[in-house]
Structure 1
Amino acid sequence: MSININSTLDSQNKFWDVNLGGELDVSTSDKLKEYLHKLADKEMLDMKINLENLEYIDSTGLGVMIGVLKKLKVGNKEIYIINPRSNVRKIFNITGLDKIFKVEG
């Protein structure tokens, strides 16, 4: 199981564009946590996290996203979840996190 993470800074629109692929679970969540916290430390901006290529997410992965969102909320910033696959969207809906994160697409 692995996760692919890449990001770009959209300095014109002032947000981090983050793309995730693979599986976000207990074995990959620490990598994502470290990555997203480094982005927030570098520049406190909204994050648009594209989940189009994310095949799976578990509670550990959701926990990482919640932790990063809490950090961003201190600076009045948001996480936008973009293009989640139907199985990933279902997890956000079941847990009620679709009300916490801005889910689009």
Structure 2
Amino acid sequence: MSLIINKSFDNNNNVWNVSLIGEVDIYTSSEFKSSLIEMIQDKQVDIRIDASSLDYIDSTGLGILIGILKRLKEEEKDIYIISPKKNIEKLLSITGLDKIFRLEG
């Protein structure tokens, strides 16, 4: 499977909006990590990830999100995961990451 990352900066709300389509796994994780690092090097603000079209994320992808969140927390910023599918929501719950990331919708 592949991964499509659509990202944009919302000047009005001072937030990165990211839409993930497909899967974040060992094959797509380097692209995912590079994209997120590029964003926070540009502007270290909250990141809102639309996960409604994210079909799968493995431990590699979760590790990347945790690493980025640690960097954002230094500036008191967060990662919001918006509208995750049931399987992603269950994974975040099982791993306890639903307590670390902000889940919406």
TM-score, structure 2 as length reference: 0.98
Runs of 4+ in 1 over 4 A off after TM superposition: none
Q: Percent identity?
A: 49
Deviations 1:36-80 (A, max 9, x none): 010000011100001000001111110010011011111111000
- Gap regions ≥5 residues in structure 1: none
Any idea what SS the aligned residue of 2:62 has?
helix
2:55 alignment partner AA: E
1:2 alignment partner AA: S
In structure 2, how many angstroms separate the alpha carbons of the residues matched to 1:31 and 1:2?
11
TM-score, structure 1 as length reference: 0.98
Look up the match of 1:15.
15
1:78 alignment partner AA: D
Aligned residues: 105
In structure 2, how many angstroms separate the alpha carbons of the residues matched to 1:100 and 1:86?
18
CA offset at residue 13 of structure 1?
Answer: 0.6
Look up the match of 1:61.
61
Look up the match of 1:75.
75
Alignment of structure 1 residues 1-105 onto 2, 5 Å: 1-105=1-105
